[in-house]
Chain A
Amino acid sequence: MNITVLVGDMKTGRTGDILVTHALGSCLGLMVFDPMAKVGGLLHAMLPLSSINPEKARGNPAMFVDTGVPLLFKSVYEMGGAKERLIVKAAGCGNPMGKNEIFKIGERNYTVLKKLLWKNNILLKAESVGGTASRTIHFEVDTGGVLLSCNGTKGPL
């Protein structure tokens, strides 16, 4: 089944599911996959830190990287995923052109992600981050295969 993950959302799936998310601009798309248990999850987080809007974060933790990433891992563990087997991939975190630091939400999303992963001893297996393109992800939970569409070209991540 195709399961669409909207902006500020997180979904998990099992064999037979394809987790899809569209239009990753500055947002972070994070994929977690356990090849043994054949379970996976996809997060589409919009903003780096939940402290910007704690009320929103309570109702919708997937909107923020600092609350969405733990939620993603926890959900995959609950489905039988084990930390030592997890394959983690990241996409998105784009930024507009120019040097305007204020608009680099993508960069801030990526920084918060890296800090979280580092603290928890988790490595990224693959990533396609930064730049100006809008990205779309198709994550096949059976194989863990990720198809990345970006600027009219498609390829595995």
Chain B
Amino acid sequence: MRIDQIGGMIKAFPAMPGAALKLLTLTDAPSATVQQIEDVLRQDPGLTANVLKLANSAYFGIPSKVGSVRQAVMLLGLKRLVQMVVATCASAIIDRGVPGYDLPAGELWRHSLAVSVAAKGLAGELKIQAADEVFTAGLLHDVGKLVLGQFVQEEYTDIKRALAQGMTFEAAEAAVLGIDHAEIGARVLAQWSLPENIVHAVRWHHAPEKFGTVDIMLDVVHVANMLCLMIGIGVGREGLLHEPSPVVTRRLGLEPPHLEKVASQTLQWVSELSQALAVG
């Protein structure tokens, strides 16, 4: 069965490096100390170097130079530090081509970065507060495409037929393959023991109104994803075959100027973040 095959691939999906997972469990513990974080990172000097590089990037805009893990925790907080760790680890997993979606090497990663920065920028433009995890949720929202790509490729004739009936791309995935890339992504992240709000945001990023609860983080990721595809970042075979949720638009109070202002800045934000993440 195809669905069993997909399930097997989810189970076999690359795990996060040990240091990243340890840090993630630490963030859940309210008593986590800087010392504990330093201890975890000390085991992985490469990761430490990347974290410091990212902490000093234009993306986070810290005026003073961040020279140590201790300083990074003080200035950014534990949550944002963990985001950076996840980002450096995620790039190793996401930064490759995805044939089924017609995404050449690097495009899914660029799309992931773009959704992450655009979601954050959108919250700022709307003057609303999204959870800190919006960075990670944006970065990982399409991780399921890495699993589903080959199946989309194999069954494209059927998917095309479903699309011709007026389905969205993710609905066509579910109709033909029994599962869509959003659900797969959520399962991968649950397997990684990521915080629940991230898992939910990934699961519902194409259908936020189906999630029983309202989460601004999910809403801005949903809008940012659509916007990034529209401006050509990581838009492959799926084109613009998604439907922006009117419910989300209404509850965010979203208007064209918000969307267009964010769009005008996204490319610059992406290049700043990707420069920060590029390990030289």
Interface residues of A (CB under 8 A from B): 7-8, 22-27, 46-49, 52-53, 56, 63, 94-100, 102-103, 105-106, 108, 132-134, 151-152
Instruction: Verify B244–A134 contact, CB threshold 8 A.
Output: no
B246 and chain A: residue at smallest CB distance: A100
Instruction: Verify B260–A47 contact, CB threshold 8 A.
Output: yes
A152 and chain B: residue at smallest CB distance: B237
B256 to chain A, nearest CB (A): 5
Chain A residues closer than 8 Å to B242, beta-carbon distance: 96-97
Query: Of B232, B254, B267, which is within 8 A of A22 by CB?
Result: B232
Extra pairs beyond A25-B240, A108-B256 (20, CB < 8 Å): A7-B231, A7-B232, A7-B233, A22-B232, A25-B232, A25-B239, A26-B231, A47-B264, A52-B264, A63-B264, A97-B168, A98-B244, A100-B243, A100-B244, A102-B249, A102-B254, A102-B259, A132-B241, A134-B232, A134-B236
| B263 is an interface residue with CB less than 8 A from chain A | yes
Chain B residues closer than 8 Å to A102, beta-carbon distance: 244, 249, 254-256, 259
Instruction: Verify A106–B168 contact, CB threshold 8 A.
Output: no
| Bound Cα distance from A89 to B268, whole angstroms | 29
Chain B, interface size category, equals 20 to 34
Chain B residues closer than 8 Å to A53, beta-carbon distance: 260-261, 264-265
Chain A residues closer than 8 Å to B263, beta-carbon distance: 46-47, 105
| Bound Cα distance from A138 to B255, whole angstroms | 34
| Bound Cα distance from A76 to B168, whole angstroms | 40
Instruction: Verify A134–B257 contact, CB threshold 8 A.
Output: no
